[in-house]
Amino acid sequence: MSLLDSIRAAKQLRKVGSIAHDASAPSLIVDTLQISNKYDTLVLQANIENWNTLLSEFTPKTILVPLTPAQGTLLLRAYEALESAALAEAIDAAAAQYVRSGKTGAPLVPEESLLLEQLGQEIQTAIDALGGSGCFVKLSSRSPKDAAARSGVFEAHYIRAVQAAVELDDEQRLWILCQSEGAALRFKDAASVVRSLVLSERVWQDMTLAMRHPDTWQQNIILREWQPVPIDMEFRTFISKTRMTAISQYAYQLCSPRLTTAEKLDPAIAAIRTLYEDRLRPILSASPAFADCVIEFGVIPPESEGGEWRAIVIEINPFEETTDGGLFSWTRERQLIEGTEEGVEYPVVRVTERKRTGALAMVPSRWKEVVRRVEGRT
């Protein structure tokens, strides 16, 4: 589970056997085949292949590197091998090497070596085509952001941020944690991409779901142009029957001063609403699959006073409870999210207006270990 996912879910990692499960994961155990297929369809139709071409003008430049079912199997086998206690020392040593050198070492298991051999050149070509200075990486469904705590990448970013910090109270520490997690998703070479994929439980979960549907297999490694969206300028928006009903601050455990004033919040929300109503809604309305969905927007503030606030589409998620509700509750506020509650002015906008206490207590154990290790020596 990623740091932000854990904070939003307000709980520690849950263990099943040796695997820590992610609250945003696809349902891997279901009561009937009918329920499984229905849920899988909702998840798979939100994959980026189904909307990137439609919205290419409004989302970062994207390159797809196809994954075959055989390569999907290699990802599954690699993760399962790396979950064994026998390889824990090797993973820790590789992470420590990355912290020291900033370089990903030799493959940890044969499956990682095969994936790098088969996909490495195409991944590197895509990275170079996107500018060569780093790009965001995900699979068709989700990113491997949970791998950063195991690979040493998060720790390297956290060390630099802590060393640069003027003071380090809990609020500042939480900001640094979240910003370091975001920075760890910027990849500059193929070896680090493949390492993150084989260490990610999220990838293992998504591959497990995709493998259930070999007849409709469409999985890719997605490389996207890096966009400098501030962590407090990401918003989760709920679309019900093509109507925008709710907008939540994405990293809602963070209290951002600029989001508590209308001077900054209003133009950010206006940029999102304008992009959706004027440009996206006509496009998505033509596709029944996206009449109900959850869209992540990033807002890029102007570089100078009086400049334009610009919104971009980051991703689309299923309109289901497995998609985190942010500052809204799927169970208590379902009618509001669906836009059927009377006497409400839509969309409802929510941001965190006051600093919260105790958020660090909900950080998962792997992230806490990094924090203790770093702060014990800085």
pLDDT, residue 34, reads 44
pLDDT in tens, 245-301: 999 999 988 899 999 999 999 999 999 999 999 999 999 999 888 999 999 999 999
Residue range 189-206, pLDDT digits in tens: 999 999 999 999 999 999
In one letter, which amino acid is 323?
T
What letter does residue 324 receive in the DSSP assignment?
Answer: -
More confident position, 169 or 347: 347
**What one-character DSSP code corresponds to residue 198?**
H
pLDDT(25) > 70:
no
Pairwise CA distance, residues 173 & 367, whole Å: 12
Average pLDDT over the chain reads 87
- Residue 217 banded pLDDT, cuts 50, 70, 90: very high
Please provide the DSSP assignment of 137-203 as one string.
Answer: EEESS---GGGHHHHSHHHHHHHHHHHH-S---HHHHHHHHHHHHHHTTEE-SHHHHHHHHHH-HHH
pLDDT of amino acid 362: 67
Q: Is the pLDDT of residue 31 over 60?
A: no
What pLDDT was estimated at residue 20?
35
- Cα separation values, 203 from 20, 37, 64, 81, 108, Å: 13, 19, 16, 14, 17
Instruction: Please give the share of the chain, as a percent, with pLDDT higher than 70.
Output: 88
Q: pLDDT-derived band of residue 11, with 50, 70 and 90 as boundaries?
A: very low
Residue 7: band (very low, low, confident or very high) from pLDDT cuts 50, 70, 90? very low
Which residue is listed with tokens 């206490």? Answer: 357
pLDDT confidence band for 78 (50 / 70 / 90): very high
The pTM is what? 0.86
